[in-house]
């Protein structure tokens, strides 16, 4: 809970620091990805592979001249890993909170980064664990007008957990709605 409060305070401090706000937005992102885990323990193979889906909702997003920032919440789900030998890692579901920042390099190309924390729940087991994540990626604008923007996103995310480090390379769609647009790009 302290991490969520810290992220909310950080967003509240960062938003007014930038000049020329062009408005608030709401966002919905959907991504599909391979989920590759590198264990911190002895395992038969150096990496296990699963698949996953992530849905993020941004209700606190603000656009500025060439960048935007948003606080987002979401769901991440992974399948069980591909079986190797007699071992298969369990799939899990996650609730995620992330702070996302994007910089528009060209009219249809943006780079973004995100920092997040997750509460993860293994399937079929009463066990929960925390993880932290950081992401970088590119966003290619597919369609845009004064009320919405549709983009193709390519995030590369690193998840840090006690027993593993996971790499998630995704492709997805991001839809933004601009209800209070006051000019801009």
pLDDT digits (tens, 9 = 90+) for 19-68: 455 688 999 999 999 999 888 877 777 788 899 999 999 988 988 888 89
List the structure tokens of 160. 């840090």
More confident residue, 26 or 13: 26
More confident residue, 163 or 117: 117
Quickly tell me which residue has 């647009």 as its tokens.
181
Supply the pLDDT for residue 12: 58
More confident residue, 100 or 163: 100
124 Rama sector, left if φ>0, alpha if ψ -120 to 50, beta otherwise: left
Mean pLDDT of 104-109: 92
Mean pLDDT of 73-92: 86
The domain spanning residue 140 has which CATH number?
A: 2.40.160.20
CB atoms within 10 A of CB 169: 14
Quickly tell me which residue has 């702070």 as its tokens.
99
pLDDT at 116 over 90: yes
For residue 183, being part of any structural domain is answered with no
Residue range(s) defining the domain that contains residue 139: 2-177
pTM of the model: 0.82
In angstroms, the Cα distances linking 69 to 15, 29, 118, 124 are: 7, 15, 19, 36
3-state helix, strand and coil shares in percent for the chain, rounded to the nearest 5: 10, 65, 25
Cross-strand bridge partners of residue 151: 141, 174
Domain count along the chain:
1
Q: How buried is residue 43: exposed, middle or buried, by Cβ count under 10 Å (0-12/13-18/19+)?
A: middle
For residue 184, being part of any structural domain is answered with no
For residue 119, being part of any structural domain is answered with yes
């Amino acid at each position: 809970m302290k991490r969520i409060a810290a992220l909310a305070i950080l967003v509240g401090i960062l938003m007014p620091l930038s000049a020329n706000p062009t408005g608030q937005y709401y966002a919905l992102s959907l991504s599909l990805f391979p989920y590759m885990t590198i264990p911190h323990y002895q395992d038969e193979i150096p990496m296990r592979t699963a698949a996953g889906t992530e849905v993020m909702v941004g209700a606190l997003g603000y656009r500025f001249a060439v960048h935007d920032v948003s606080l987002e919440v979401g769901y991440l789900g992974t399948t069980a890993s591909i079986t190797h030998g007699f071992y298969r890692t369990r799939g899990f579901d996650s609730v995620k909170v992330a702070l996302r920042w994007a910089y528009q390099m060209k009219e249809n190309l943006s780079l973004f980064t995100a920092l997040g924390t997750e509460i993860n729940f293994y399937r079929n087991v009463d066990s929960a664990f925390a993880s932290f994540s950081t992401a970088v990626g590119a966003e290619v604008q597919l369609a845009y007008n004064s009320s919405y923007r549709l983009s193709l996103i390519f995030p590369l995310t690193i998840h840090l957990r006690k027993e593993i480090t996971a790499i998630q390379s995704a492709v997805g769609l991001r839809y933004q709605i601009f209800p209070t647009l006051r000019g801009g790009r």
